[in-house]
Chain A
Amino acid sequence: MISDLLSMTVLVGILASGIRLATPYLFAAIGETFGQRSGVLNLGVDGQMLLGAFTAFYVAITTGNLWLGILSAMVVGALMGLAMAFVTINLHAEQGISGIGFYLFGLGLSDLLFQKLLGTVETVKGFSKVYIPVLSDLPVIGDIFFRQNILVYIAFALVPIAWFVLNKTTLGLKIRAVGENPEAADSLGVSVARIRYFTIILGGTLSGVAGASLSIALLNVFQQNMTSGLGFIAVALVYFGAWRPWGVLGGALLFSLVNSLQLWVQVLGIPIPSDIAVMMPYVLTILVLVATVSRVRAPSALTKPFERED
């Protein structure tokens, strides 16, 4: 039975599933990484995702244009990011609490709009799998990596892009400086407020896309609370990834691959109780976190509001 796990069908299945499951986490967590590196904690990611998911779904189902759906999800996510930025930076609100407030707002508003504008659960013709000549035809690799929809590819592409921006550009340097020592950054002429506005809005935009990836690419449906806490796990993955894009990728893949593994474990009849199987991704993530925690340090100014002394 356990040996069944090593069969090709199963391994391909686990890897392909894991890659799909990781996609929304990647969008949301990479976005959150920018915000947290600049010193802001946004717990409202799940609410931004839900509102983005609904917006993309509604636009796609009424206009038939999927890219317009993505664009509107980005706009909605950006607007929520703007609101969060204003509350955090101008009003100096406690970030954890205001984040939860935005989560509840996104959860409630997405459901209200869904009830009023659509009324019933239905499906949409979302992004289909992209066929890449040569690559998609590769025997095993092709099935796993190259038979996915375009948003999956974009999510994974974001990782090296985010790494490059954060570590190799001046913008990235400013973001990191603002997150480590905003007073010093401020004295050197960096506008802390402007950088944080940028990162929070960027985070909101990516969370919107994360939601859209669920409703018009991976699942092609919208339902109340369909993210089911995904946004909160994405925030946790930022900590897990040590605030580095490649670390976030590692965390998202670990979590998602173990999740798809446990689904197979149950299907193959391996005698692990379903409650234990379902715990596996979470337990494993915690274990890895415990093993690596001493080597990790958060951005020093994370969650601390910055007041410019004039």
Chain B
Amino acid sequence: MKRFRLLLTGLLLIAVLLGACQAKDSAPSAAFEDTFKVAVVMPSAINDLAFSQSMYDALLAIQDWMGGEEAMEFVYSDGMFVVDDAAAAIRDYASEGYDLVIAHGSQYGSSLQEIAPDFPETSFAWGTTVDTFGLDNIFAYEAASQEGGYVNGVIAASLSESGVLGVVGPIETGDAKLYVDGFVAGAEATNPDVQVNVNYIGSFSDVALASEAANTHIAAGADGLTGTAQMVVGAIGVAEENDAMWFGTQASQSGLAPANVVANQVYHWEVILKEIVQMIADGTFGGTSFVVDLANGGEAMDYNADYELPAEVMSLADDTVKGIIDGTITIDLGE
């Protein structure tokens, strides 16, 4: 019996070792004779009208750019708000031989730091952040969301009749904080007497709390609201109920409240994804960080066609965008 057990253990050990070797060998290098395979892990749904949707839309654009499904295929795991599940998905995708695995969520960082070294032939991309952990197979990307936030703030302060604006934030971190600070800066630069109230609800997904946060702003006199992350659908509903303006970010939210949404800052991640794909084709799997901003077209202002924006406000917005791009406008993020 003892010898049998020893034999079994030995066989198991060999099987495990073989399996591990298999995994390393089967991850192909990013040669583009074959279909370029991309996998992405996201914390919320692909139709969340915000963060995850922006990446999903960008991948569709990349697929188009590369020539359709034979040239590039992508798969996704959305709703991965539990980091352990996301880590398992990232590891699975890497071991299945995907060329590029995108961890779309700053919370996935520590998992990626553990996983990436195990798959040196796989390129990983992580956002929103600047940190590549000094590894040569991780790209980092982030959004200068304060730029579109600033433009939204300028428009909001110009249009506001009550002089009070409200911001519903998720958690005071990352590109959410950048957007909020940018919005406040833009509003205050346009009208020094404007009152911009901010509350953070402590969650990216609690729609009910976002709705009450917006109610709080309305009660405080706000006639223009903004916010970021997928929970804002609750706040948009309150804006609609109370005839207040809404300013969106990450994706176009005009469809949700056509009479109330004024403008959106839309992310175009494909701008930097193209660079990443090109670098992978040239044999570099990581080590660089990217930023999407107004200058490189990774961020763009999208105006709701159903909302009548006065001409002078529209040209003020355009001038603001130009000013940010050429550097004449600097955004003071305070602290």
Contact = CB atoms under 8 A, between A and B. Distances in A.
Given A121-B256, A267-B197, A223 B207 contact: yes
Interface residues of B, number: 42
Nearest to B207: A226
B215 to A, nearest CB: 6
B45 interface: yes
B205 interface: yes
A267 B225 CA distance: 13
B45 A274 contact: no
A278 B47 contact: no
A274 B237 contact: no
A224 B44 contact: yes
A274 B199 contact: yes
Interface string B209-250: 101110111011000000000110110010010000000000
A219 B208 contact: yes
A225 B81 contact: yes
A13 B47 contact: no
A206 interface: no
Contacts of B46: 115
Max count, chain A CB within 10 A of own CB: residue among B47, B79, B166: B47
A121 B47 contact: yes
Given A123-B256, A228-B205, A267 B211 contact: no
B154 to A, nearest CB: 22
A121 B47 CA distance: 7
B216 A13 contact: yes
Contacts of B45: 111, 114-115, 223-225
A144 interface: no
A21 B200 contact: no
A115 B220 CA distance: 36
A13 B219 contact: yes
Contacts of B47: 115, 119-121
B304 to A, nearest CB: 16
B19 interface: no
A273 B205 CA distance: 20
A278 to B, nearest CB: 3
B188 interface: no
Contact of B201 (A9, A115, A123, A263): A263
Contacts of A266: 197-200
A33 B217 CA distance: 35
Contacts of A278: 200-202
B206 interface: yes
B255 interface: yes
A267 B220 contact: yes
A48 interface: no
A180 B211 CA distance: 41
Contacts of A263: 199, 201, 209, 212-213, 216
A20 B212 contact: yes
Nearest to B216: A263
B55 to A, nearest CB: 15
Interface string B6-27: 0000000000000000000000
A264 interface: yes
A248 B201 CA distance: 24
Interface in A183-228: 214, 218-221, 223-226, 228
Contacts of A228: 203, 205-208, 231
A263 B199 CA distance: 6
Given A274-B200, A275-B202, A21 B209 contact: yes
B59 interface: no
Given A17-B216, A219-B211, A223-B230, A274 B48 contact: no
B69 interface: no
A221 B237 contact: yes
Contact of B215 (A10, A13, A221): A13
B209 to A, nearest CB: 7
B208 A230 contact: yes
A148 interface: no
Contacts of A121: 47-49, 233, 256
Given A13-B216, A266-B200, A267-B217, 16 more contacts: A12-B219, A21-B209, A119-B47, A121-B233, A214-B207, A221-B207, A224-B78, A225-B81, A228-B206, A230-B206, A259-B209, A260-B212, A263-B199, A267-B216, A267-B220, A274-B202
25 contacts: A9-B219, A9-B220, A13-B215, A17-B215, A21-B209, A21-B212, A24-B208, A121-B49, A121-B256, A219-B207, A221-B207, A223-B233, A225-B45, A225-B81, A230-B206, A263-B199, A263-B209, A263-B212, A263-B216, A266-B197, A266-B198, A267-B217, A267-B220, A275-B172, A277-B200
Interface of A: 9-10, 12-13, 16-17, 20-21, 24, 107, 111, 114-115, 119-123, 214, 218-221, 223-226, 228, 230, 259-260, 263-264, 266-269, 273-275, 277-279
